[in-house]
């Protein structure tokens, strides 16, 4: 019986059964006779062959380690994730527009794998795209919407600890950060100082805020536990009995995040107490210990508060070495949230140098302004 007859019989049978039929016509091995393969789908609804359902996705996405990661562990931001990847979900702080809108994407198949196992598969890639936010009055009320891209965060799941000597890999992930002005350059240098602190509340969930991704849980997120809270204890260095204590507040208000005041003149032996009044912030010195260029006196001790997530948390540090100390807030550094403290007098040193070229533009602009002030002290 020739192929035309087979096809006609197949169509007739499909019409009788009420099913959808696909035909694949090819050649038998070592033969010039065409063969026909028939696939039946008992779902009578229209189905597009260009958008197949992944019924049994792979448990590993290890091609990510050749496509997006080189042999040394250097990561590359994909350029097609918006059009060909899956949108996991998003985050926004309606009371703090300067944090922007956070959209998160992953490869097709990761969702199905996560639903089966409750974990992200080896090689899964998560990309968080942070855009600015603006707002205005619409017919439905006062509305906020995303604007231009500011930065991208990218994480690659690594169950095999492939790059133990690379400071961008650890805790089961590769960590990277890219600015809009140069998406080909990973500006993160150490995951512990540049990335990890913001993920501490999600440590029990493999460092990922899964509450923001309903598709991982088939849309059911109300039963998930909230992220862990930060410690409520204050962090401090005990001030000497003779030194004064100065207070700087840390604020998030509308579209702004800032230290108040952002510049302060004190004397050696004085203590500065930072008080978190709103938002999530750090007080972190520009120092190689914190994976940043040195912008405090060379003989001074670096400092870092860790992430302060709760209102009322404080961080204290006693300054003993004269000179200029520049510091920043890690979650909001890329929006220019920096501060300067002059201890005694603005001695010539790292804190008065021009801002390093590899710093984000908003940071360079803010430091330029603060340095002009410091030189006059």
Listed by start position, the domains of the chain span 3-41, 64-217, 245-375
Cα–Cα dist 334/21, whole Å: 55
Nearest to 305 by CA among 322, 330, 287: 330
Cα–Cα dist 157/72, whole Å: 16
pLDDT of residue 227: 59
pLDDT of residue 18: 42
Strands of 74-140 (E only): list them.
Answer: 86-91, 101-106, 125-138
- Other C-beta atoms closer than 10 Å to the C-beta of 299 total 10
Reduce the DSSP state of residue 173 to 3 states and report it: strand
pLDDT of residue 308: 83
Q: Are 151 and 188 in contact (CB under 8 A)?
A: no
Q: Are 193 and 111 in contact (CB under 8 A)?
A: no
Max Cα separation, the chain? 104
* CATH class of the domain defined by 64-217: alpha beta
pLDDT of residue 231: 45
Q: Which fold has domain 245-375?
A: Immunoglobulin-like (2.60.40)
pLDDT of residue 344: 93
pLDDT of residue 4: 44
The rounded average pLDDT for each run of 10 residues, N- to C-terminus, in the chain (377 residues) is: 43 41 37 35 36 39 81 93 92 70 92 92 94 84 85 94 94 92 87 80 89 81 56 47 86 84 96 91 92 93 87 93 94 90 90 89 93 91
């Amino acid at each position: 019986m020739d192929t035309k007859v087979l096809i006609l019989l197949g169509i007739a049978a499909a019409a009788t059964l009420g099913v959808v039929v696909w035909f694949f016509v090819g050649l038998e091995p070592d033969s010039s006779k065409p063969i026909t393969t028939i696939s039946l789908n008992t779902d009578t609804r229209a189905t597009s062959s260009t958008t197949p359902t992944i019924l049994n996705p792979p448990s590993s996405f290890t091609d990510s380690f050749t496509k997006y990661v080189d042999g040394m562990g250097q990561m590359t931001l994909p350029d097609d994730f918006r059009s060909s990847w899956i949108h996991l979900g998003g985050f926004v702080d309606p009371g703090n527009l300067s944090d922007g809108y956070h959209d998160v994407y992953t490869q097709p198949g990761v969702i199905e794998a996560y639903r089966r196992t409750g974990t992200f598969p080896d090689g899964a890639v998560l990309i968080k795209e942070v855009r600015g936010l603006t707002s205005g009055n619409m017919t439905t009320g006062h509305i906020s919407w995303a604007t231009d891209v500011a930065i991208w965060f990218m994480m690659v799941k690594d169950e095999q600890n492939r790059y133990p000597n690379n400071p961008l890999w650890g805790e089961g992930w590769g960590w990277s950060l890219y600015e809009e002005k140069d998406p080909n350059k990973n500006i993160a240098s150490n995951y512990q100082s540049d990335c990890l602190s913001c993920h501490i509340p999600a440590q029990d969930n493999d460092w990922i805020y899964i509450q923001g991704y309903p598709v991982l849980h088939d849309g059911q997120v109300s039963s998930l536990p909230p992220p862990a809270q930060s410690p409520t204890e204050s962090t401090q260095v005990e001030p000497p009995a003779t030194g004064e204590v100065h207070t700087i507040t840390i604020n998030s208000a509308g579209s702004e995040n800032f230290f108040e005041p952002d510049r302060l003149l004190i004397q050696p032996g004085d203590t500065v107490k930072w008080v978190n009044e709103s938002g999530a912030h750090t007080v972190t010195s520009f120092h190689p210990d914190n994976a940043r260029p040195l912008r405090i006196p060379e003989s001074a001790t670096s400092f870092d508060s860790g992430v302060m997530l709760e209102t009322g948390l404080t961080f204290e540090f006693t300054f003993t070495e004269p000179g200029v100390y520049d510091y920043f807030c890690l979650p909001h550094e890329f929006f220019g949230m920096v501060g300067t403290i002059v201890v005694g007098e603005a001695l010539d040193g790292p804190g008065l140098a021009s801002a390093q070229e590899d710093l984000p533009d908003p940071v360079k602009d803010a430091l330029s302004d603060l340095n002009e002030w410091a030189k006059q002290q």
